[in-house]
Chain A
Amino acid sequence: MKITITVNLIERSFDVQPDDVLLDVLRREGYLEVKGSCHAGDCGACTVLLDGRPVASCLTLAAKANGHAVTTVRGIGTELHPHPLQEAFVKNGAVQCGYCIPGAITSAKALLDENPDPTEEEIRLAMDSNYCRCSGYEQEVEAVLEAAEQLRKGGTK
């Protein structure tokens, strides 16, 4: 079946099987920034935004995303034009092996879009789906707090 998804603001058409999950389709189509790990919705590595809300792409049927907008971490910011969240993650030492970071930043982006001044508790709750096996959780929270402050001051969104 053919589906159309707007990925990082660009409309794309994909041929998929009815039981293909979004993670597999995105990676097959070259969006390698979306990471697969547990494939059971537990770890958050595969998090993407579906119409602005974080979902586990390993459990999301690609057909359910038909007609919707998907944002990966590259849609949030790139190496040349990083988002304040990405800058803050680097600056605060929140990136260690880096495998979980695309998912973590994506979840944090959804939070800050909705709540520009979150508390630590709100950050922890919004990122409770993102495991970091290097256990850099404290630094991630500090990074999100710093990025939130930066964005409130008018940093580029």
Chain B
Amino acid sequence: MGKISEFYYATSPQDAVNKAKQTGAGAAYLGGGVELVLRRNPEVATLIDLSHCNLDFINVTHEGIEIGSQVTLTTISKNAVVKEYAGGSLTYLAGHIAHNNLRDMITVGGVIGRNQPWNDVVPHLIALDARVLLFDGTDHLVPLAEYIEAKHPGMLIKGVILPAENKTARGSLWRFTRTRQDISLLHCSALIAGDHNMITKANIVFAGRPAHAALYPRLSEELVGRPLTKETFERVAELAPDIVEVGSDLRASGEFRHALVRAALINLGEHMTEVAQ
């Protein structure tokens, strides 16, 4: 492992930001620490611990559900409010990915900050339209999808907000893995809203392609305004392999992943129409 020379217990987000500014490029905020131990960035010499910064909250506000960056997947999986959100898809995800020990260690801030391509949490939060609350002395609220694209170096992640307007929509996730605890060969997360059996909103995200998570607005356009039926999703499933960029790696070929893209959308249609019925 690289040498970490300082472990700093920040007492507040402001204290953490001050320490990061004072230390410079060699400082890193600490989430659950899982990635840090497994894949050490040799340039990091100072760890700034956020566990005493009151960022382990789940609150309901008029904007939606606020989840602090230090909240673990286990805590999310057991939270009653999150369970009621978008059909409980985040609850299921948080309670089933990785394994029991890791779910008690992995934090929301950690997964967003590291955003590894095999990450299953970030794509689902993007599908749910999550916004990320950043702090550099003042608060900044940006869509998670934008944060992932733009990066905001030096910003402390205070948490995410699941917008209230999506509470009654339906979230879905589909992970193709070789074993239950394996990382995804392909991940598809979605949020579908409907009115009188018509699709009014559709967020489709693919990850593990093997590239990072990405929203596919073109697929959304093909779904919105159409009937909430299996046939609608089957039609989009035929288009999707030409739209979703996938690649090959040691774990799967691009051709196989294209087939999985199609299967993911058929599965999504079955899930959504069973829910609708």
Binds A, one of B101-109, B119-127, B170-178: B101-109
- Number of chain B interface residues as a range: 20 to 34
* Cβ B99 vs Cβ A129 within 8 A: yes
Residues of chain A with a CB closer than 8 A to B51's CB: 64
* Cβ A60 vs Cβ B4 within 8 A: no
Residues of chain B with a CB closer than 8 A to A18's CB: 4-7, 47
Q: Within the assembled complex, what's the spacing in Å between the Cα atoms of A83 and B203?
A: 50
Q: Within the assembled complex, what's the spacing in Å between the Cα atoms of A125 and B96?
A: 8
Q: Which of B7, B33, B47 contacts A59 (CB 8 A)?
A: B33
A53 at the binding interface (Cβ < 8 Å): yes
Q: Which of A56, A59, A64, A125 contacts B30 (CB 8 A)?
A: A64
* Cβ A1 vs Cβ B7 within 8 A: yes
Residues of chain A with a CB closer than 8 A to B95's CB: 125
Binds A, one of B34-42, B82-90, B232-240: B34-42
Of all chain B residues, the one with the shortest Cβ separation from A128 is B99
A residues 87-134 near B (Cβ < 8 Å) are: 107, 125-129
* Cβ A19 vs Cβ B1 within 8 A: yes
A41 at the binding interface (Cβ < 8 Å): yes
Residues of chain B with a CB closer than 8 A to A126's CB: 100
B49 at the binding interface (Cβ < 8 Å): yes
B residues 40-68 near A (Cβ < 8 Å) are: 40, 47, 49, 51
* Cβ B104 vs Cβ A128 within 8 A: no
A61 at the binding interface (Cβ < 8 Å): yes
Q: Within the assembled complex, what's the spacing in Å between the Cα atoms of A47 and B105?
A: 12
Taken residue by residue from 184 to 227, chain B's Cβ proximity to chain A (1 for < 8 Å, 0 otherwise) reads as 00000000000000000000000000000000000000000000
Q: Within the assembled complex, what's the spacing in Å between the Cα atoms of A127 and B101?
A: 9
Q: Which of B6, B47, B96, B104 contacts A53 (CB 8 A)?
A: B104
Q: Within the assembled complex, what's the spacing in Å between the Cα atoms of A82 and B5?
A: 41
A26 at the binding interface (Cβ < 8 Å): no
Q: Which of A17, A63, A107 contacts B101 (CB 8 A)?
A: A107
Q: Within the assembled complex, what's the spacing in Å between the Cα atoms of A61 and B102?
A: 13
Q: Which residues of B are at the interface with A, using a C-beta cutoff of 8 A?
A: 1-7, 9, 30, 33-34, 36-38, 40, 47, 49, 51, 74, 95-96, 99-102, 104-105, 180-181
8 interchain residue pairs of minimum CB distance: A129-B99, A18-B7, A19-B4, A129-B101, A63-B7, A129-B100, A56-B101, A18-B4
